[in-house]
C-alpha cells in the first residue's frame, strides 16, 4: 500500500497558486486559489473571525516508488483540501445550531469543529482535489489514510467532528459509501433550455405565471432605471466602492452587521480573477457612476452563472427580483450559460422558473451517542427534504411537459 504524508497549513499561500490550480482546476470560481487567498489576505477569514485556515495537503512519501513511478509529476503534492477550524457555525449555510445546543445541554463542547468548505459560499464545487495521475488503488489508499488523519486532527483539537459542505454528487456517494453521515439539502437553480431570449423562456410558462412576472418587471419601468453588466477588468474603483456600499447597507438592514466581506476582499478579487466576475450596476442615468443606486456581483464558470452578492441604497418594489433574478436570466440566455445559480434558499424563486436541486454535506461526529442521534436526524431530514422538493416541483410555473 502506498504511503502519503498529510499536513495542515495555516495559509493557502504556503501551497501556492500554481500547485493549487494544477489539482483543483480553475472552472469553479469559488474553489480557485485567488478566491480563497483573497478571503485570507483581506482578513475576512482568520482566527479572529472564527475561520482558522487548516488546509490539508497530501504528498507522496519520499522514496515511495509505487506512486512516484506512476505519477511522473514534477512535485510530490497529490491532493489538497480547503479546511478550517471553526469556533461557530456562521457563514456555512448547512445549519447545525441544534446539534451544538444539544451538546451544550449535556455540558459538552461542540466547538471547535473542522469544516471543509468555501467560507460564506453555499455553492457546490470540488472540496477534495486528487491528482488524476493516481490510479484507483492509490486513490483508495489516499482516502483511507486521509480519513484516519482527519480523525486524529479532530482528537488533537478536542473538536466535535469534521464536516464537508456543498460537495458534488460523486463525492456525496463516496462519503456515504464509507459510512460517513450525509445530509440532503436543496437550492433553486434556473436551467437554460436553449432559449433565444427572455420571451422564449416566458413562453414555456402558463399564462397566469407569465403575466405575474411581466407585471413584476413593469413595476420598475416608470422609474427610468438603467441596468448594465460590467466585466471584471472594466470595473472601476468607484463602481466597486458603490457596490460594496450597497452590499454593506443592505446586509446591515437585514442582519444588523455590515456583512462577512469587505472592500479589500472585493478589490483583490477584481484584480486577481476579474475574468470570472460580472458586476451589474443599476443607475438612474444611462452613463456615469454618480447616479448608481444598486448593484449585484455575479461570477461565471464555463457553463454556470452565479449570483452571489447584492445591495441597494433605495427601497423599490421589485428591484431585488429584477437585479438578482431577471437580469441574471437574460444574461445567461445572451451568453449561453446552461445554469443560473442565484444563491441559497428562497422558495419564492420557484414561481420565477427556478427549479429545486439537491445539495449535499457530510459529517463525521466523534461522540458515539451523539453520532447515533444525528444519524437518525439526518435520515428523517432526508425524507422531509425529498417530500419538500417533490411539492415544489409540482408548483413550477411551466406548462405541462416543459419542466
Mean pLDDT, the chain, whole residue set: 94
Which CATH number belongs to the domain containing residue 28 in this structure?
Answer: 3.40.630.30
pTM: 0.94
pLDDT given at position 346? 86
- The tens digit of pLDDT for each residue in 319-341 reads 999 999 999 999 999 999 999 99
Instruction: Say if residue 105 is in the same domain as residue 173.
Output: yes
- What does the pLDDT average to over 33-58? 98
Q: Which residues of 41-65 are buried (b: 16+ CB within 10 A; e: fewer)?
A: bbebbeeebbbbbbbbbbbbeeebe
Is 398 part of a structural domain of the chain?
A: no
Read off the pLDDT band of 214 (50, 70, 90). very high
Instruction: Say if residue 68 is in the same domain as residue 130.
Output: yes
Residue 71 has pLDDT above 50, yes or no: no
Residue 74 has pLDDT above 50, yes or no: no
Is 132 part of a structural domain of the chain?
A: yes
Is 344 part of a structural domain of the chain?
A: no
Cell (9 digits) for 214: 411581466
* Contact criterion met (CB below 8 Å) for 367 and 334: no
- The tens digit of pLDDT for each residue in 264-310 reads 999 999 999 999 999 999 998 766 666 899 999 999 999 999 999 99
* Contact criterion met (CB below 8 Å) for 39 and 119: yes
pLDDT given at position 224? 85
Number of domains into which the chain is organized: 2
Instruction: Say if residue 122 is in the same domain as residue 203.
Output: no
Separation between Cα atoms, residue 115 and residue 229, nearest integer Å: 34
Is 323 part of a structural domain of the chain?
A: yes
pLDDT given at position 336? 98
Determine what percent of the chain is predicted with pLDDT higher than 90: 87
Return the minimum-mean-pLDDT range out of 69-78, 161-170, 217-226, 313-322.
69-78
Burial of 237 (0-12, 13-18, 19+ CB in 10 A): exposed
Read off the pLDDT band of 45 (50, 70, 90). very high
- What does the pLDDT average to over 81-96? 97
- The tens digit of pLDDT for each residue in 237-267 reads 999 999 999 999 999 988 888 899 999 999 9
CA-only gyration radius of the chain, Å: 22
Residue 3 has pLDDT above 90, yes or no: no
- What does the pLDDT average to over 390-395? 96
Read off the pLDDT band of 75 (50, 70, 90). low
Read off the pLDDT band of 344 (50, 70, 90). confident
Is 397 part of a structural domain of the chain?
A: no
Separation between Cα atoms, residue 134 and residue 138, nearest integer Å: 6
CA 77 and chain centroid, separation: 25
Range of the domain at 376: 4-186+358-392
Separation between Cα atoms, residue 119 and residue 237, nearest integer Å: 25
* Contact criterion met (CB below 8 Å) for 159 and 112: yes
Instruction: Say if residue 147 is in the same domain as residue 55.
Output: yes
- What does the pLDDT average to over 192-203? 97
pLDDT given at position 311? 97
Read off the pLDDT band of 401 (50, 70, 90). low
Is 203 part of a structural domain of the chain?
A: yes
Sheet holding 277-283, edge to edge: 51-53, 84-86, 113-116, 161-165, 355-365, 181-191, 339-341, 304-312, 292-300, 277-283, 226-231
- The tens digit of pLDDT for each residue in 356-368 reads 999 999 999 999 9
Is 114 part of a structural domain of the chain?
A: yes
Is 349 part of a structural domain of the chain?
A: no
pLDDT given at position 72? 43
Residue 62 has pLDDT above 80, yes or no: no
Instruction: Say if residue 169 is in the same domain as residue 197.
Output: no
Instruction: Say if residue 95 is in the same domain as residue 233.
Output: no
Read off the pLDDT band of 63 (50, 70, 90). low
Instruction: Say if residue 364 is in the same domain as residue 283.
Output: no
Separation between Cα atoms, residue 387 and residue 293, nearest integer Å: 40
pLDDT given at position 182? 97
Any idea which residue has 462519503 for its cell?
175
Instruction: Say if residue 145 is in the same domain as residue 83.
Output: yes
Instruction: Say if residue 56 is in the same domain as residue 200.
Output: no
pLDDT given at position 400? 76
pLDDT given at position 254? 83
Instruction: Say if residue 155 is in the same domain as residue 48.
Output: yes
pLDDT given at position 285? 74
pLDDT given at position 258? 87
Instruction: Say if residue 138 is in the same domain as residue 238.
Output: no
Instruction: Say if residue 285 is in the same domain as residue 140.
Output: no
For the beta carbon of residue 118, count every other beta carbon within 10 angstroms: 26
Amino acid at each position: 500500500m502506498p504511503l502519503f504524508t498529510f499536513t495542515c497549513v495555516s495559509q493557502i499561500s504556503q501551497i501556492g497558486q500554481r500547485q493549487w490550480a494544477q489539482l483543483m482546476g480553475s472552472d469553479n470560481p469559488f474553489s480557485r486559489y485567488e478566491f480563497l487567498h483573497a478571503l485570507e489576505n483581506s482578513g475576512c477569514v482568520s482566527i479572529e473571525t472564527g475561520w482558522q485556515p487548516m488546509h490539508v495537503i497530501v504528498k507522496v512519501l519520499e522514496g515511495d516508488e509505487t506512486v512516484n513511478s506512476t505519477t511522473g509529476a514534477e512535485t510530490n503534492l497529490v491532493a489538497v483540501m480547503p479546511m478550517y477550524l471553526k469556533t461557530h457555525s456562521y457563514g456555512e449555510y448547512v445549519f447545525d445550531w441544534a446539534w451544538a445546543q444539544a451538546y451544550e445541554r449535556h455540558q459538552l463542547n461542540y466547538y471547535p469543529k473542522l469544516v471543509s468548505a468555501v467560507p460564506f459560499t453555499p455553492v457546490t464545487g470540488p472540496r477534495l482535489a486528487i491528482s488524476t495521475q493516481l490510479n484507483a488503488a492509490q486513490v483508495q489508499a489516499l482516502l483511507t489514510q486521509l480519513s484516519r488523519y482527519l480523525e486524529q486532527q479532530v482528537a488533537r483539537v478536542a473538536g466535535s467532528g469534521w464536516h464537508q459542505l456543498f460537495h458534488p454528487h460523486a463525492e456525496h456517494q463516496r462519503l456515504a459509501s464509507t459510512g460517513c453521515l450525509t445530509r440532503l439539502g436543496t437550492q433553486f437553480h434556473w436551467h437554460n433550455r436553449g432559449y433565444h431570449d427572455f420571451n422564449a423562456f416566458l413562453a414555456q410558462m402558463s399564462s397566469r405565471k407569465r403575466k405575474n412576472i411581466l407585471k413584476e418587471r413593469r413595476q420598475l419601468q416608470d422609474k427610468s432605471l438603467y441596468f448594465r453588466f460590467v466585466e471584471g477588468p472594466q470595473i472601476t474603483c468607484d463602481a466597486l466602492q458603490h457596490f460594496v456600499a450597497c452590499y454593506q447597507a443592505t446586509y446591515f438592514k437585514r442582519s444588523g452587521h455590515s456583512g462577512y466581506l469587505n472592500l479589500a476582499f472585493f478589490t483583490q478579487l477584481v484584480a486577481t480573477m476579474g475574468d470570472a466576475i460580472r458586476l451589474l450596476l443599476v443607475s438612474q442615468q444611462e452613463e456615469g457612476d454618480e447616479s448608481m443606486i444598486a448593484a449585484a456581483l455575479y461570477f461565471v464558470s464555463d457553463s454556470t452563472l452565479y449570483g452571489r452578492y447584492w445591495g441597494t441604497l433605495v427601497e423599490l418594489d421589485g428591484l431585488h427580483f429584477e437585479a438578482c433574478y431577471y437580469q441574471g436570466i437574460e444574461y445567461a440566455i445572451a451568453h449561453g450559460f446552461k445554469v443560473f445559480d442565484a444563491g441559497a434558499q428562497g422558495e419564492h424563486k420557484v414561481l420565477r422558473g427556478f427549479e429545486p436541486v439537491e445539495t449535499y454535506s457530510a459529517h463525521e461526529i466523534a461522540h458515539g451517542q451523539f453520532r447515533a442521534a444525528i444519524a437518525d436526524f439526518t435520515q428523517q431530514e432526508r425524507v422531509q427534504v425529498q417530500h419538500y422538493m417533490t411539492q415544489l416541483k409540482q408548483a413550477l410555473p411551466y406548462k405541462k411537459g416543459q419542466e
